[in-house]
Structure 1
Amino acid sequence: MLTNKQKKYLRSLANSLDPIFQVGKGGGNDNLYKSISEALEARELIKVSVLRNCDEEKDEVATEIAAKTNAEIVQIIGNIIILYKESVDKKRIELPSH
């Protein structure tokens, strides 16, 4: 579980990122979750855009993606979800201590 201080730090890092995935009308699927999981392993911090035609609420989408990829939701702002997962092999982000 991320602390508020860690989330604030991750949000500042995410400012310069562009969304690399989009969730549309069909919502999430196994291929999407697999791709997001691989991207999190490579980058640790990503943004996912929830398109307007998505049938599910963005909170539900974020919770589902986080659960399927074992990631943490850093923030949901507008239609953008910021996700973090510590990389096993390519650790780049050093989180501030509690």
Structure 2
Amino acid sequence: MIRLSGKQIRHLRGLAHHHRIVVMMGNSGLTDTLKLEFDSALSAHELVKVKLPAGQSKEKRAILQLLCRAAGAVPVQLIGRVGIAYRPAETPRIILP
């Protein structure tokens, strides 16, 4: 897993602001299908917004961490029920500062 500096995280948060939510987690929870969908979304977009179920912030943070760990991504931000994750592609389209 890669490490991001504060400057890089701020840059990614700014880019993600205009993105739509790509992956939505339903009542089924953290399933293999959700992990595959998350992985394919990261492959296609590099920067992905995920809508998480309602719950405690610690639970949502843990779910985002598990999703990112399974896909080899880095959690960028979690606000409310929306998480942002980043995984660079083999030929990156997003150039980090």
What TM-score do the two structures reach when normalised by structure 1?
0.88
Which of the numbers 26, 38, 41 marks the counterpart of 1:39?
Answer: 41
> SS at 2:21's partner residue?
coil
Deviates more, 1:32-41 or 1:3-12: 32-41
Please state how far the C-alpha of 1:20 moved relative to its aligned partner. Answer: 1.1
Residue 20 of structure 1 aligns to a residue in which SS? strand
C-alpha RMSD over aligned residues: 1.7
What are the ranges of 5 or more consecutive residues in structure 1 without an aligned counterpart? none
Q: Which amino acid aligns with 2:62?
A: E
Q: Map of 1:15-94 to 2, 5 A cutoff?
A: 15-52=17-54, 57-89=59-91, 91-94=92-95
Whether contact under 8 Å (1:73, 1:83) holds in the other structure is: yes
Q: Deviations over 1:13-36 (max 9, x none)?
A: 000011111112221111111111
Query: TM (normalized to structure 2)?
Result: 0.89
Q: Aligned-pair distance for 1:79? A: 0.6
Q: Given residue 94 of structure 2, which amino acid in structure 1 is its aligned partner?
A: I
In 2, are the aligned partners of 1:62 and 1:73 still within 8 Å (CA)? yes
Q: Partner letter of residue 19 of structure 1?
A: I
